[in-house]
């Protein structure tokens, strides 16, 4: 994930772009928001764009033959083009708007897997995946007779590629993998997996929810077949997601949802489908949310992904070094050079939920629980972890606040220093 910054980075100037970061919490404490992996905060430009839509040209898209409808449709399709350029898709029609990563994954599981898989086929997964990249494939396998295989993890939370030859065979039809773990922070070798999958005739479906907002993505290299991600983790609105798929795959797939906009003609006994991507956008598209996502992409491009990567990596290094020095703290996942800015940990003698509550009293917002990765936590012999996740709007002072709050929590439980 190494890259050169595109321009000098001023984190304090960036923070002024995010209204929520300026607020004071109860007790006049500043907000230390370390939960971006769950949802990102929104810059003023995104908020302003959404307000502009509602105040100036709110109208349903594609069908209204009037000025408001034309303007809203133009804004929506311009947002689609921004997504296309952001991830390097060949065609704008390869961008399908959904409600989020979970719906995008389910769209592939229903529209592709249920149509093309058969008994004896295999789907290759691994234990670090989010439930959204496990459960849809479980249902698809149950419906088609396909089997699930699992690539094991190394002791430090990376994919064990030494078993790839054994598990990735001519029976494998799909490799479903996260580009970056939402718990371990592991950055997976998508280029290697894509090439190996294609070598045996399989497709690759990438969960980009954690990776797309934090590092450059180009679906043409390493030739990704399916990519899913969410707008709300990319500094955009909730309720909007993206499924990218190569045109020939989208054209071969069955619709997932049926109703308005996704049809060409409807008869009493049958229907025909609209061209892609409309074929997969039944009903009223989250059009204002999509325009907000376009504004978020504009903002990220203005900041520059190299700047984002550099700032987040520096925060991650500092947080790992300082937390690892605290007695009783265990950090999960690979070394910091192999992971994104996600740090999951436990404190001996303190349940993660209690830890999160104590940190919240000091204004530090983290996540606690199984983070929708129950199989991974079972593998780690844990019921829950605490998770701090960083964005480019975080500061080194906020890392200090996190560490100080963890130390204070240990004192609250009268744990030995």
For residue 341, give the CATH number of its domain: 3.90.1150.10
Cβ pair 227, 234 in contact under 8 A = no
37 domain-assigned: no
pLDDT computed for residue 224 by the predictor? 98
Return the pLDDT at 65: 86
Using the Cα atoms of residue 357, residue 212, residue 103 and residue 265 in order, give the sign of their dihedral. positive
Instruction: Give the integer Cα–Cα distance in Å for 37 and 194.
Output: 25
DSSP string, 277-333: TGGG--SS--HHHHHHHHHHHHHHHHH-HHHHHHHHHHHHHHHHHHHHTSTTEEEES
Domain-terminating residue out of 254, 273, 301: 301
Let me know whether 257 and 295 are in one domain: yes
Write down the catalytic residue from 53, 205, 285, 372: 372
Which residue segment(s) compose the domain that 248 sits in?
47-301
Q: Are residues 115 and 155 in the same domain?
A: yes
User: CA separation (Å) from 86 to 73, 293, 299?
Assistant: 20, 11, 12
The string of DSSP letters for 255-285 reads: PSS-SSSSEEEE-SS-EEEPSTTGGG--SS-
338 Cβ neighbours under 8 A, 6+ residues apart? 156, 158, 186, 187
Q: Say whether 372 is catalytic.
A: yes
CB 176 within 8 A of CB 137: yes
- 4 assigned to some structural domain: no
Domain for residue 39, yes or no? no
The pLDDT value recorded for residue 1 is 37
Same domain, 254 and 365: no
User: Helix or strand or coil: residue 185?
Assistant: coil
Distances (CA, A) of 387 to 172, 230, 344, 346, 352: 34, 20, 4, 9, 9
If asked whether residues 179 and 281 sit together in one domain, one would say yes
pLDDT at position 5, please?
47
Instruction: Show which of 301, 317, 337 is a domain's final residue.
Output: 301
Task: Verify that 293 and 309 share a domain, yes or no.
Answer: no
Beta partners for 343?
Answer: 388
Whether 223 maps to a domain, the answer reads: yes
Residue 165 belongs to a domain = yes
CA angle, residues 41, 2, 208, in degrees to nearest 5: 45
Last residue of a domain, one of 301, 331, 365: 301
For the chain, residues with pLDDT lower than 70 are 1-7, 417
Phi, psi values for residue 151, rounded to 5°: -75, 125
| Domain total in the chain | 2
Both 124 and 267 in one domain: the answer is yes
> Based on the domain organization, do 362 and 338 belong to the same domain?
yes
Instruction: Please indicate, yes or no, if residue 351 is contained in any of the structural domains.
Output: yes
pLDDT at 118: 98
pTM attached to this predicted model: 0.96
């Amino acid at each position: 994930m190494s890259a050169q910054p595109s321009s000098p980075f001023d984190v304090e100037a960036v923070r002024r772009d995010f209204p929520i970061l300026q607020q004071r919490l109860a007790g006049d404490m500043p907000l230390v928001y370390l939960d971006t992996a769950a949802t990102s905060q929104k810059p003023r430009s995104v908020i302003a764009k959404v307000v502009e839509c509602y105040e100036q040209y709110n109208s349903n898209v594609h069908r209204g033959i009037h000025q408001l409808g034309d303007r809203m449709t133009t804004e929506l399709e311009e947002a689609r083009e921004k997504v296309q350029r952001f991830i390097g898709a060949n065609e704008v029609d390869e961008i399908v708007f959904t409600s989020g990563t979970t719906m995008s994954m389910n769209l592939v599981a229903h529209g592709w897997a249920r149509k093309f898989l058969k008994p004896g086929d295999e789907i290759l997964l691994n234990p670090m995946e989010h439930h959204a990249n496990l459960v849809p494939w479980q249902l698809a396998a149950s419906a088609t007779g396909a089997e699930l295989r699992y690539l094991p993890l190394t002791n430090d939370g990376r994919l064990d590629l030494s078993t790839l030859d054994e598990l990735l065979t001519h029976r494998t039809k799909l490799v479903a993998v996260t580009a970056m773990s939402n718990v371990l922070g592991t950055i997976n070798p998508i280029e290697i997996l894509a090439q190996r999958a294609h070598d045996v005739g399989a497709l690759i479906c990438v969960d980009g929810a954690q990776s797309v907002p934090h590092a450059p993505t180009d679906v043409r290299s390493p030739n990704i077949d399916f990519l899913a991600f969410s707008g709300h983790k990319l500094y955009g609105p909730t309720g909007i997601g993206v499924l990218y798929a190569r045109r020939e795959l989208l054209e071969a797939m069955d619709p997932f949802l049926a109703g308005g906009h996704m049809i060409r003609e409807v008869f009493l006994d049958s229907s025909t489908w609209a061209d892609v991507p409309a074929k997969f956008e039944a009903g009223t598209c989250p059009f204002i949310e999509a325009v907000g996502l376009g504004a978020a992409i504009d903002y990220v491009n203005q900041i520059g992904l190299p700047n984002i990567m550099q700032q987040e990596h520096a925060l991650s290094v500092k947080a790992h070094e300082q937390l690892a020095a605290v007695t009783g703290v265990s950090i999960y996942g690979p070394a910091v050079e192999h992971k994104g800015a996600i740090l999951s940990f436990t404190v001996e003698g303190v349940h993660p939920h209690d830890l999160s509550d104590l940190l919240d009293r000091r204004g530090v917002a983290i996540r606690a629980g199984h983070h929708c990765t129950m199989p991974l936590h079972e593998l780690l012999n844990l019921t829950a972890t605490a998770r701090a996740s960083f964005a480019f709007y975080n500061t080194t002072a906020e890392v200090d606040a996190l560490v100080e709050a963890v130390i204070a929590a240990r004192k609250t439980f009268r744990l030995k220093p």
